[in-house]
Chains A and B, each alone.
Chain A
Amino acid sequence: MADLHFLANPARFRRFSQRVLPGLGFATALMLAVGFYMAFFVAPQDYQQGDTVRIMFVHVPSAWLSMAGYALLAALGASLLVWRHPLAALMARAAAPVGASFAAVCLLTGSLWGRPMWGTYWVWDARLTSMLLLFFLYLGHIALSRAYDSPERGDRAAAILALIGVINLPIIKFSVDWWNTLHQPASITRLDAPAIHTSILVPLLWMAVSLLLLFVFLVLLRTETEIDRRRLENAEAAA
């Protein structure tokens, strides 16, 4: 916990992120470049899905990251409400749009994958529908945190929402899964590749790690901006 407390101080966090960001950005760009190369030229065609499996290399990690992002919002919310970590509010404000963006990428790439696979741009597949609801939960968090003149009030309201949301997410997922099996034939291919061969797994994991680095980069960058922005607002309020 000592490490976390070290970072909980906004000033120290800012110094940390300023040191880390340039190197992290460079590493992220490099890994993404290699990942794209692998996705397009190294990974073979899938037995069932042909070339469209390449979309999976972006779609699946985006799904993972958007879900992890919401878990992060909930953890930060708990940290804010229980321990009153000053940085938790700022990081939550920074991270929510990042998670929402990954959810949007997941939805759009899923839609583009669906078109050649099933013939339509949208199917009420259980996972896509759950992701859509997660996207709405993100929108609610973003809107709520910015709906008040006092940013602190918005931060704490959004923290409560994130905690309630994270409890409800498994429930929502369960009910959408149930709803989907009721209404759709079971023969529809699931959106994750059924047979994970090594030649597919390696690019997938590489892209997952690369996108995770991108996620971390964006959260650190945006948290730094939130720290500065809060200082600016406090200065304006004091003036």
Chain B
Amino acid sequence: MSGFTALLTRDLRLVLRRPGDVGVVLAFFVVATVLFPLGIGPETNLLARIAAGVLWCAALFAALLSLERLFAADYEDGTLDLLLLAPWPLELAALAKCLAHWIVTGLPLSLLAPVLGIAFGLDGPSLLALGATLLVGTPTLSLIGGLAAALTLGARKSGALLALLALPLCVPTLIFGAGAIEALAAGEGIVTHVAILAALALVALATTPWAIAAALRQAGE
């Protein structure tokens, strides 16, 4: 496990050395979110109705933004080759990378979204639900995104291709994440939604590290 924590702390330290990188992602999230009322109109009922979907979609796009560089830096400077030769399983390294990505992207987004939700007229319980569902759902996005990043490592047009690969796979998380807030507005509980989001995260956890490792091995060849 020491390899896992070593990798995790290394990646976190690398990111925190450039806090601007994290800031840009969050700034994009805010700007993208603000575009919707500007494009649709400030009618409060409508905004409250679409808030969950808008915030979840914007979070999805923001999380995707930082994925392209997830493995690229290591690929370019040779660290990836070292990881391929390291004694610990490549799957753990993949997991560490995705966890680092979540800590600097998904986690802040989950905390920031409820703040933006206020501007959309969501009430207290809905804001809490928004934060909670994002907390449970964004790890899945980091795992799926990590896979897309590993598959497109060194490819042409990797940014757009990464989004094309990742977004359809993120649809279930989006549906249940945004759907939870709607269910709450309709007076139902969100336990089912959160449980399904957790199940989706577990499925991603069970399948993606192995796929990421396979993709990284191909990139290293």
Question: What residues of chain A have their CB less than 8 Å away from a CB belonging to chain B?
Answer: 81, 133, 136-137, 139-140, 143-144, 147-148, 153-154, 156-157, 160-161, 163-165, 167-168, 171-172, 174-176, 178-179, 182
Q: Give the Cβ gap from B105 to chain A, nearest Cβ, in Å.
A: 21
Q: A140-B164, A143-B161, A143-B164 are in contact. Are A175 and B172 (CB under 8 A)?
A: yes
Instruction: Name which residue of chain A comes closest to B147, CB basis.
Output: A164
Could you tell me if A147 and B157 are in contact, using CB atoms closer than 8 angstroms? yes
Inter-chain contacts of B203 with A (CB < 8 A)? 167, 171
Cα distance A161–B200 in the bound complex, in angstroms:
18
B153-171 interface (Cβ within 8 A of A): 154-158, 161, 164-165, 167-169, 171
Cβ-defined contact, A144 with B171, below 8 A: no
Interface residues of B in 198-212 (CB under 8 A from A): 200, 203, 207-208, 211
Beta-carbon contact of B155 and A147 below 8 Å:
yes
Most B CB contacts (10 A, CB to CB) among A133, A147, A163, A182 go to: A147
The listed residue (B157, B169, B171, B208) touching A165 by CB distance below 8 A is B169
21 contacting pairs across A/B (C-beta < 8 A): A81-B214, A136-B164, A136-B167, A140-B164, A140-B165, A140-B168, A144-B152, A144-B161, A144-B165, A147-B155, A147-B156, A147-B157, A157-B155, A157-B218, A160-B151, A164-B207, A164-B208, A165-B169, A167-B203, A168-B172, A182-B179
- Once the chains bind, are A174 and B172 in contact (CB under 8 Å)? yes
Please judge, given known A-B contacts A153-B218, A164-B147, whether A148 and B169 are in contact too, CB under 8 Å. no
How far apart are the CA atoms of A160 and B164 in the complex, in Å? 15
CB distance B152 to A147 under 8 Å?
A: yes
CA of A164 to CA of B151, assembled, Å: 11
Asked if B32 CB lies within 8 Å of chain A CBs, one says no
CB-defined contacts of B208 to chain A, threshold 8 Å = 164
CB-CB under 8 A from B158, the residues of chain A are: 147
> Looking at chain B's contact residues, is the secondary structure mostly helix, strand, loop, or mixed?
helix
Closest residue of B by beta carbon distance from A146: B156
Give B114-170 interface residues, CB cut-off 8 Å to A: 147, 151-152, 154-158, 161, 164-165, 167-169
In the assembled complex, B56 has its CB within 8 A of some CB on chain A: no
Q: A179 to B175, Cβ gap below 8 A?
A: yes
B152 touches A175 (CB 8 A): no
**Closest residue of A by beta carbon distance from B157:** A147
User: Measured between C-beta atoms, what is the minimum distance from A146 to chain B in Å?
Assistant: 9
7 A-B pairs with the lowest CB-CB distances in the bound complex, closest first? A147-B155, A175-B172, A136-B168, A175-B175, A140-B165, A179-B175, A157-B151
Instruction: From A143, A153, A163, A164, give the contact of B169 (CB < 8 A).
Output: A164
Q: How far is the CA of A58 from the CA of B19 in the complex (A)?
A: 55
**Least Cβ–Cβ distance between B186 and chain A, in angstroms:** 9
Would A176 and B168 count as touching, CB distance under 8 A? no
Q: Could you tell me the distance in whole angstroms from the C-beta of A173 to the nearest C-beta in chain B?
A: 9
B211 with A163: CB separation less than 8 A:
yes
Q: A147-B156, A172-B172 are in contact. Are A161 and B164 (CB under 8 A)?
A: no
CA distance A133 to B215 in the complex (A): 23
Cα A140 to Cα B165 in complex, Å, equals 5
B203, chain A: closest CB distance, angstroms:
7
By the criterion CB–CB under 8 Å, are A160 and B215 in contact? yes
| A167–B200 CA distance with the chains assembled, in angstroms | 12
B176 contacts the other chain (Cβ, under 8 Å)?
A: yes
- Closest chain B residue, CB of each to CB of A165: B169
Asked whether B172 lies within 8 Å of A144 as measured between CB atoms, the reply is: no
Q: Which residues on the B side are within 8 Å of A137 (C-beta)?
A: 168
